[in-house]
Amino acid sequence: MELIIVIKIADKTRSKTLDWHTRIHIIDGIARGLVYLHHDSRLRIIHRDLKTSNILLDNGMNPKISDFGLAKMFGRDQTEAKTKRVIGTYGYMSPEYAFDGCFSLKSDVFSFGVLVLEIVTGKRNRRFSDPQHDHNLLGHAWKLWMEERPLELVDNTLGDSYNITQVLRCINVALLCVQQRPDDRPNMGLVLLMLCGESKLPEPKQPGFFLERNLPSAGHESGTLGKQESSSLDESSITTLEPR
């Protein structure tokens, strides 16, 4: 029977088993899965709840996107839709979906960007804290990027055993994915090319995020997110590397 586990990033004991080679393999596999859902499947499929607990790993550490309970199927000529009932996980939702109920392929791209930052850093987006500011992980990543200190994002458990060029490319791509405006985000086909390529990447614009203290209180991972007066977005829960 094939072993299936859930990604666990925040547990420092288990995260040590996720070396850089494994992490980049997981990032690449998730990207390829989304390319299939968005571009290669007969119908376009928007997952709408992409998060670490919905990424399963087999015994070869190959990622499988799971839990399509909130997924929406689009025709080939449809690119976006709107709903009055916003359901998903705080911290992975794009701003336009969280606040206005608008979702598209670029909503999944935003969630993918959050996942990449969490995999690189070993930190949760929503529960992230830093003594120098009140930003979530997206805000922290943006701050370090603007200060030209992006390598400070790398998970300490990795030590020096990572490829600097790959790490910088992953952070750059992740920040491109979580930009505030959907039109500024690349599609998943381009994301995969950027992750695998060597060409110079564009500079990201400010991500869509808000401060942790502006989050609505929520003791669960999924639920309806009402409109807020804050101008940008934050997140929700993360999970782990546990046998299923």
Q: C-alpha dihedral over 71, 77, 79, 82, to 10 degrees?
A: -70
Q: At what angle do helices 105-121 and 164-177 cross, to 10 degrees?
A: 140
For residue 220, the tally of other CB atoms under 10 A from its CB is: 9
Where residue 101 falls (left for φ over 0; alpha for ψ -120 to 50; beta otherwise) is left
Q: Residues 101, 82: contact at Cβ < 8 Å?
A: yes
Chain-centroid distance of CA 78 in Å reads 23
**Residue that the structure tokens 């805000």 belong to:** 139
Identify whether 40 is a catalytic site residue: no
Q: Report the DSSP beta bridge partners of residue 73.
A: 45
* SS3 call for 86: coil
For residue 109, the tally of other CB atoms under 10 A from its CB is: 24
Name the catalytic one among 11, 19, 28, 49.
49
Within 8 A by CB and 6+ apart from 181, the residues are: 205, 208
Question: What amino acid positions are annotated as catalytic residues?
Answer: 49
